[in-house]
Amino acid sequence: KQLKQEERRRIADYTATRPAAVYTPGSAGIWNIPCDIALPCATQNELDMQGARALVEGGCIAVAEGANMPVTLDATRYLQRQGVLFVPGKSANAGGVAVSALEMSQNSLRLPWTFEEVDSRLQSIMTGIFHRIDETAARYGHPGDYVVGANIAGFEKIADAMMSQGIV
Q: What is the chain's pLDDT, residue by residue, as a tens digit (168 residues)?
A: 888 888 888 888 888 888 888 887 765 678 988 999 999 998 888 999 999 999 999 999 999 999 888 999 999 999 999 999 999 999 988 888 898 999 999 889 898 889 999 999 999 999 999 999 999 999 999 999 999 999 999 999 999 999 999 987
Half-sphere exposure of 77 (CA within 13 A, CB side): 3
Contact assessment for residue 79 and residue 105, using Cβ atoms and an 8 Å cutoff = no
Confirm whether pTM is higher than 0.85: no
pLDDT at 27: 56
Closest by Cα among 155, 144, 154, 152 to 80: 144
Alpha helices in 40-114 (DSSP H): 49-57, 73-81, 89-92, 94-109
Q: What's the confidence (pLDDT) of residue 95?
A: 87
pLDDT at 18: 86
pLDDT of the residue at 26:
63
Question: Which pairing describes strands 85-87 and 62-64: parallel, antiparallel, or unpaired?
Answer: parallel
* Nearest to 41, CA basis, from 33, 56, 50, 31: 31
Burial track 84-114 (b if 16+ CB lie within 10 A, e otherwise): bebbbbbbbbbeeebeeebeeeeeeeeeeee
- pLDDT at 14 (0 to 100): 87
